[in-house]
Amino acid sequence: MINSIRTVRKARRMTLDDVARRCDPPTTPQTIGRLETGTRTLSLDWLTRIADALGVSPGELVRMPDEAAHEVAVLLTPDGAHAPARPETLAPQRIDEAMLAVRVTGGIGDYRAGDIIWCRRLDADRAATALNRDVLVPRPGGRYLFGRLIGMDGEKLHLLPLGAGARQQVVASPPWFALAARLIREL
């Protein structure tokens, strides 16, 4: 069993000090750091205290060695879809490893800041199943296009970006595209 305290803490954009102060009773950032790295034994009491401080269940802070953490592939902002400037990981979830994570950083369309959109890659021959649904399409230079697939013309995909007043975009012969399949939203 491996603890995922650091992964969850970073996904929630909290520092060691933030977690330490939210613990009941409060503790030190050094203690939280030692529990994260395994240099101090993580008891059930500590696991519960840290889970409460992070606002998650204790089960979300532990994982089995075969459960992989997923990396954020794309950030979706009101300006469009972009690759993250530095690697970001999400807390381990029961998601197919082939799926791509899109983290929404600013509300756009039906999506709110903080949403995680999981996209499943599709082959070009299955494009018809994605009509009128949101898709992620790679562009040259590490860029992406995220929008509603409104039509297909041979090897060309016609997408309507999510922003208000956005114009239709056409992508010719993309190597792959991914269908938005699952939305995870904090309440």
CATH value at residue 153: 2.10.109.10
Give the Cβ contact number of residue 82 at 10 Å: 15
Q: Given pLDDT bands bounded at 50, 70 and 90, which one contains residue 34?
A: very high
What does the pLDDT average to over 122-128?
72
pLDDT higher than 80, residue 186: no
For Cα atoms 85, 113, 23, give the angle at the middle one, nearest 5 degrees: 90
Q: What is the mean pLDDT of residues 26-38?
A: 93
Of 41-50, 86-95, 108-117, where does mean pLDDT reach its minimum? 86-95
Domain boundary, last residue among 43, 63, 83:
63
Look at residue 111 and tell me whether its pLDDT is greater than 70: yes
Residues 106 and 41 occupy one common structural domain: no
Please say which residue of 11, 31, 63 terminates a domain: 63
Query: How many independent structural domains does the chain possess?
Result: 2
Cα angle at 61 between 59 and 67, to 5 degrees?
85
Residue 94, pLDDT > 70, answer: no
Please, what is the angle between helix 44-54 and helix 29-37, to 10°?
110
My answer on whether 47 and 93 are in the same domain is no
What tens digit of pLDDT does each residue of 37-85 get? Answer: 888 988 989 999 999 999 888 888 886 555 556 678 888 888 888 888 8
Highest mean pLDDT of the ranges 52-56, 91-95, 173-177: 52-56
Arithmetic mean of pLDDT, 4-32: 91
Q: Which helix (H) or strand (E) holds 53?
A: helix 44-54
Give yes or no for a contact between 69 and 95, defined as CB atoms under 8 angstroms apart.
no
User: What is the C-alpha end-to-end distance of the chain, expressed in Å?
Assistant: 28
pLDDT of residue 69: 61
**Residue 40: which domain range?**
2-63
